[in-house]
Amino acid sequence: PDDIRALAQLVGTEVLAARQAALEAEVEAQAALRARADDAELLEKARQALAALTAPVDQGAVLTVTVQTDTDGPVMLDISTIVGEAYWRPTYDLRLTRGETPTLEIDRNVLVTQYSGEDWDGVALTLSTARPGEQSQAGEVYGIPRRIISEDELERERDQSVSAFGGMSEPVMEMAPMVIMEEIGMTTDMQGANVTYTYGGEVTIRDGVDDLRLTLDTQSVTPEIWAAATPLRDDSAYMVAEITNTTGEVLLPGEALLIADGSLVGFTDLPLVAAGDDTKIGFGVIDGIRLTRIVPNRTEGDIGVISRSNEQTETAVITVENLTGESWPIRLRDRTYYSDQDDLEVDYTASLPVTVEDPEGRRGVLEWQFDLGAGGEQEITLESSLTWPTGYVLQ
């Protein structure tokens, strides 16, 4: 029994030792795993730091920024860059409503496109008319150098030229005025202070896709409407709305969709209209206002009354018919002769008094303004004449 008891004690002692060794080994293994996890975390941070300093193979250059702070915690970093492949342009929907109180509603929109290489998700959009990549100052102006020489000196130069060409006479050509110009870039399309527009909400603009259309606002102005008639070129009149920009803001140049009384009539390019400035916008043909212009006779040659003179006379008969069911204010334009030479005498007569001569500085253009009721007709006879001395040829 003593031997058995001793053997049992020995076995218990060995088992206890083995358990203690196993426990210690497990503790060491757990410590090793924790150390390995810490090492793995340090290794991942090192890899991230290296990736931040190395430009990706499939992308361009990267921006590396070193940030130093006095306290621990997250830091907000605001980075501003210039992207050359981003564009915007204005576009308009012009809605004309006629009647006793006509109105023109101007729906202002913008089209935005970007090719920066990445999508812009949920960005705050501010648009500006500034053009940092274009000319920033006015071009230079240089004088035109001219000189005179004596006839003797000119003869000597000709003799030298003949000698230089081996006795063959060099063609003498009159030199045009010399203009010294400095090569300059494209001039800016818009002048004055820049205008900025801030969009009301966040937008998402995909990279390299079609234009994103955004609505800015709607402005309303009061137009003056009339029928523009040019019988020399057209057989019908066209509706015109003249407006004054009373919005207090500049209207930038852009494509405009034209809608008259709820119907689409076409497209046009709206020019830049400064605040307080005027512009005219065509809103399509008026089929019910018919135009004709005929020249019944044309004579040319000696008139006999002034024996040393020649004369050319042209008579045009212009007719405007209003086949619509409403009255229209008409602005009709035609032409006559004009000349800067005193010896070439120009004259004209019209059966209806001309309202404006040379409108907008266009010499030889005549304009009549009158109202034409429904079913009405207006005829104008225009006679233009030229008289010049004999011995001259009319060009």
Q: Do 247 and 312 belong together in one domain?
A: no
Query: Residue 165: its pLDDT value, please?
Result: 55
Query: Residue 85: its pLDDT value, please?
Result: 85
Query: Residue 302: its pLDDT value, please?
Result: 44
Residue 212 domain-assigned (yes or no): yes
Print the domain residue range for 68. Answer: 1-80
Q: Which two tokens stand for residue 335?
A: 């032409």
Q: Do 283 and 378 belong together in one domain?
A: no
Q: Do 235 and 335 belong together in one domain?
A: no
The mean pLDDT values, 10 residues at a time, for the chain of 395 residues are 65 71 76 74 78 61 76 83 85 93 94 88 85 77 76 81 58 38 30 70 85 89 96 95 92 93 93 93 95 76 44 91 95 93 89 94 94 96 88 75
Query: Residue 219: its pLDDT value, please?
Result: 92
Q: Do 113 and 62 belong together in one domain?
A: no
Taking every pair of Cα atoms in the chain, the longest distance, rounded to a whole number of angstroms, is 171
Query: Residue 192: its pLDDT value, please?
Result: 47
Query: Residue 161: its pLDDT value, please?
Result: 76
Q: Do 98 and 215 belong together in one domain?
A: yes
* 385 three-state secondary structure: strand
Query: Residue 355: its pLDDT value, please?
Result: 96
State the DSSP string of 244-298. Answer: E--SSS-B--EEEEEEETTEEEEEEEEPPB-TT-EEEEEEEEEEEEEEEEE---E
Whole-angstrom Cα distance, residue 255 to residue 262? Answer: 19
Residue 176 domain-assigned (yes or no): no
Q: Do 223 and 90 belong together in one domain?
A: yes
Whole-angstrom Cα distance, residue 373 to residue 329? Answer: 9
Residue 384 domain-assigned (yes or no): yes
- Of 238, 255, 288, the residue that ends a domain is 288
Residue 149 domain-assigned (yes or no): no
Flag whether the pTM goes above 0.75: no
Q: Please enumerate in sequence order all residues whose Cβ is within 8 A of that of 124, keeping only pairs 6 or more positions apart, or say none.
A: 198, 199, 202
Contact 135, 187 (CB under 8 A): yes
Tally the domains of the chain: 3
Residue 39 domain-assigned (yes or no): yes
Q: Do 331 and 384 belong together in one domain?
A: yes
Q: Do 215 and 348 belong together in one domain?
A: no
Contact 381, 350 (CB under 8 A): yes
- Of 61, 80, 99, the residue that ends a domain is 80
Q: Do 94 and 69 belong together in one domain?
A: no
Q: Do 53 and 105 belong together in one domain?
A: no
Q: Do 279 and 302 belong together in one domain?
A: no
Residue 154 domain-assigned (yes or no): no
Residue 375 domain-assigned (yes or no): yes
Q: Do 237 and 364 belong together in one domain?
A: no
- Of 261, 288, 315, the residue that ends a domain is 288
